[in-house]
Amino acid sequence: MLRIAVPNKGSLSDPAVQLLKEAGYKQRRDPRELVLVDERNKVEFFFLRPRDVAVYVGAGTVDAGITGRDLLIDSGADAVEHLELGFGGSTFRFAAQPGVASSVADIQGKRVATSYPLLVQQHLGGHGVTATVVRLDGAVESSVRLGVADVVADVVSTGTTLRAAGLEIFGDPILTSEAILIRAQDAPVEEIAILTGRLRGVLTARKFVLVDYDVPGDQLDAAIAVTPGFEAPTVTPLHGSDWHAVRVMVPRVEMNQIMDSLYAVGARAILTTELLAVRV
């Protein structure tokens, strides 16, 4: 049985569980459940603290897990980033009160508060900067006002938390993070491939929609130029006329522009439908 670690709390937990459900895996109903066996798919899920996922995968006691890239790096664990999962996006940034620092070099000799000490130490070391890293469990933004640090290094999503604390981002991003599937060095290759295929199937289905339309023969090439498709669109002749029915996958974000363009070249009965899962 493939053993998979899933975050039990925090921002990554709900979207991770949702992704696994959509990929056809059984998920827990009771948030107190720590282990769940999915007999049908031959997978065992372990619900662990997001920070600990990489530790277990790195130790090889579970084969794979869902975590954030920032958490993986900060864990120092010997696990492999295997697949980007398209949620939990954030950047990891330095911030301070206005005028205190404008680049990483300005951190020299200062105190940096963070919940990600290894990630920050590695970044500072890479820039030849020596600083005192103050490890905090959370609410890092308050550390400057409360006098335990001069600079913070933290996860930034909207920036609202930093602004509310009177801090400004400075320097280049330390890291761009998102939720990722990680695997153990010696994870079973075939089982990981099945898991990856299932997850990719959902991620692709989220990015694309299916468009169907009818188009007269003399406009078929113009319509296909608008919707070239993943490989090639499916074209079926309509009974008793020179019209064709076309079915094609298009990127969800471009869906409305594409429908407008199709209409403009003479396509009619243009329908868009959701995809549940895809193998391409």
Ligand X SMILES: O=P(O)(O)OC[C@H]1O[C@H](OP(=O)(O)OP(=O)(O)O)[C@H](O)[C@@H]1O
| x/- letters, 80..99, toward ligand ATP (CB under 6 A) | --------x-x---------
| x/- letters, 111..150, toward ligand X (CB under 6 A) | ---------------------------xxxx---------
**Is the Cβ–Cβ distance between 275 and 249 less than 8 Å?**
yes
Q: What does 159 interact with, of ligand X, ligand ATP, none (CB < 5 to 8 A by kind)?
A: ligand X
Looking at the Cβ atoms of 161 and 261, the one nearer to ligand X is 161
Tell me which stretch binds ligand ATP (CB under 6 A): 9-17, 29-37, 119-127, 215-223.
Answer: 9-17
Q: What does 114 interact with, of ligand X, ligand ATP, none (CB < 5 to 8 A by kind)?
A: none
Looking at the Cβ atoms of 114 and 227, the one nearer to ligand ATP is 114
Looking at the Cβ atoms of 167 and 258, the one nearer to ligand X is 167
Question: What residues numbered 156-175 form the site for ligand X, per CB under 6 A?
Answer: 156-161
Question: What residues numbered 144-173 form the site for ligand ATP, per CB under 6 A?
Answer: 155, 157
Q: Is residue 177 at the binding interface for ligand ATP, with CB under 6 A as the rule?
A: yes
> How far is the C-alpha of 112 from the C-alpha of 248, rounded, in Å?
52
Total number of residues binding ligand X (CB under 6 A)? 12
Q: What does 177 interact with, of ligand ATP, ligand X, none (CB < 5 to 8 A by kind)?
A: ligand ATP
Q: What does 139 interact with, of ligand ATP, ligand X, none (CB < 5 to 8 A by kind)?
A: ligand X
Looking at the Cβ atoms of 128 and 138, the one nearer to ligand ATP is 138
> How far is the C-alpha of 158 from the C-alpha of 124, rounded, in Å?
24
Q: Is residue 77 at the binding interface for ligand ATP, with CB under 6 A as the rule?
A: no
Q: Is residue 65 at the binding interface for ligand ATP, with CB under 6 A as the rule?
A: no
Min dist CB 91 to ligand X, Å, is 9
Min dist CB 152 to ligand ATP, Å, is 14
Beta strand 43-48 with 2-7: parallel, antiparallel or unpaired? parallel
**Of 138, 160, 189, 280, the one binding ligand ATP by CB under 6 A:** 138
> How far is the C-alpha of 56 from the C-alpha of 4, rounded, in Å?
10
Of 274, 271, 275, whose CA–CA distance to 258 is shortest? Answer: 271
DSSP letters for the chain: -EEEEEE-SSTTHHHHHHHHHHTT----SSTT--EEEETTTTEEEEEE-HHHHHHHHHHTSSSEEEEEHHHHHHHT--EEEEEE-S-S-EEEEEEESTTS-SSGGGGTT-EEEES-HHHHHHHHHHTT---EEEE-SS-TTHHHHTTS-SEEEEEESSSHHHHHTT-EEEEEEEEEE-EEEEEETT--HHHHHHHHHHHHHHHHHHHEEEEEEEEEGGGHHHHHHH---SS--EEEEPTTSSEEEEEEEEEGGGHHHHHHHHHHTT-EEEEEEE-S----
The residues of the shown chain that bind ligand ATP, judged by CB under 6 A, are 9-12, 50, 68, 70-71, 88, 90, 138, 155, 157, 177
The residues of the shown chain that bind ligand X, judged by CB under 6 A, are 138-141, 154-161
